[in-house]
Amino acid sequence: MNILMITPYYPIPNNERLGKQTEVVHYFTKRWVALGHNVLVIHLRYPHLKETMNVFRALASLKYKAPDFMDIDGVNVARIDCFRWRFGDLRLLGIQKRNAMRFIVQATEQANFSPDKIITHFPGVTMWLMEWMKEKYNCPQMGVFHKSDLNAATKQAFFDAARYPEVYSALGFRSSNLLEEFERKCEVDIPKYVLNSGVPEDILPTCPKQYSGNKKMKLLFAGRLLAYKNVKYVLQALAMSNDELDVEFKIVGDGPCKNKLQKYVKKHGLSEKVTFVGRVPREKVFEYMREANVFITVSHPETFGLVYLEAMACGAIVVGCKGTGIAGIVKHGENGFLAEHENPFEILEILKFIQEVPLDKKNEILLNSFNTVVQLGDNQVAEYYLECVNGLK
């Protein structure tokens, strides 16, 4: 099967200017290639003008440039930038749309690639393109929503839910929470699928972990220290605990909020409990996860959060955020816990419960967590996604 993927996010190796790009779409496509399918990715980026800090470079991007292909793990990838000229405005100039259409036609011709199925991630943003592609290639199309795309699409004045069945054979959602949100906002009578991320096969556990009998709670956060990650509310919970919690909190990662968080720790006398580890390689993050018995990230908004699955695979009880993507995986009190993202009182109560609950209950939660995560290996979820694509009509 020939699968054409249109996505604004795709990892480009050795390109520091673009920064770190999420690999989530690549996890799927490289598995499809390994299963014998042909995949062509059009990495259609929508950087804002401020990203380049150079208006001349942005203007130069209006001049058409032919595709330049990259092979990434067997996946054929071509990238084109379409700068957004006003922050928050997803509309492009006519010349940018024409360039993108021409680029896709030339890319498919150069690759001798005739798509059997077409997928776009962020279908609200690319509706203008997918309407054209439906007519051009006359094959089934699927649109896959992420959190930011769903919010942007349904807020735009040009959003029209009635157009979706005309363009897409099915819709995908990166979490069950997103699917529920979409269905609250509009009615679209076409198949819908939940397409979660998967945890790397090489860290999937073979048996459930047992909670350490040691009373001290080894608490872990891992990720970018950004405002929406809400690490400050976890620190507030620890500051409010009045030494009721016997805890060691390691914060793995770096980011613009680090200095403020360090000042808060010092001001509230948490230095003996909290350690800022800094940024470490991915394999080292897994080591910290295996050492921890509780992993906490109450980030909001969050499309899904693969890091939760990684922590579950490494044997930590996870505390996530209500109303986000992980809420479709974590069942409060069964295989983990969920808290309001700006509620340190609730975070504290959850941590106290985990500390005080009998050991057999903790191990029951870990067993449920194990049974959840072993069904969500990245190969398994990629193959389920492929089944959905294969069934498009």
Cβ neighbours for 185, distance < 8 A, ≥ 6 positions apart: 154, 161
Cβ neighbours for 90, distance < 8 A, ≥ 6 positions apart: 46, 84, 124, 125, 152, 156
* 226, two tokens: 């950004």
**Quick one: pLDDT band at residue 263, thresholds 50, 70, 90?**
very high
**Quick one: pLDDT band at residue 156, thresholds 50, 70, 90?**
low
Q: Tell me what pLDDT residue 14 has.
A: 66
pLDDT at 172 over 60: yes
pLDDT at 146 over 80: yes
Q: Tell me what pLDDT residue 273 has.
A: 94
* 288, two tokens: 């910290």
**Quick one: pLDDT band at residue 157, thresholds 50, 70, 90?**
very low
pLDDT at 158 over 70: no
Q: Tell me what pLDDT residue 53 has.
A: 54
pLDDT digits (tens, 9 = 90+) for 98-121: 999 999 999 999 999 999 999 999
Instruction: Give the phi and the psi of residue 294 in degrees, each rounded to 5.
Output: -140, 130
Q: Tell me what pLDDT residue 229 has.
A: 93
Domain residue ranges of the chain, discontinuous segments joined by + = 2-198+378-390, 201-373
pLDDT at 209 over 90: no
Instruction: Give the phi and the psi of residue 223 in degrees, each rounded to 5.
Output: 155, 180
Same fold for the pair 2-198+378-390 and 201-373: yes
Percentage of the residues of the chain whose pLDDT score is greater than 70 = 91
Average pLDDT of the chain, as a whole number: 88
- Is there a contact between 296 and 221 (Cβ–Cβ < 8 Å)? yes
Q: Per the CATH hierarchy, to which homologous superfamily does domain 201-373 belong?
A: Glycogen Phosphorylase B; (3.40.50.2000)
Q: Tell me what pLDDT residue 264 has.
A: 95
DSSP string, 235-251: HHHHHHTTT---EEEEE
pLDDT at 226 over 90: yes
pLDDT digits (tens, 9 = 90+) for 298-318: 988 776 778 999 999 999 999
Partners of 117 in the β-ladder: 3
pLDDT digits (tens, 9 = 90+) for 7-39: 988 987 766 555 556 788 999 999 999 999 999
Q: Report the 10 Å Cβ neighbour count for 185.
A: 13
**Quick one: pLDDT band at residue 215, thresholds 50, 70, 90?**
confident
pLDDT digits (tens, 9 = 90+) for 318-377: 999 998 878 888 999 999 999 998 899 999 999 999 999 999 999 999 999 999 999 999
Please give the CATH topology (third level) of the domain spanning 2-198+378-390.
Rossmann fold (3.40.50)
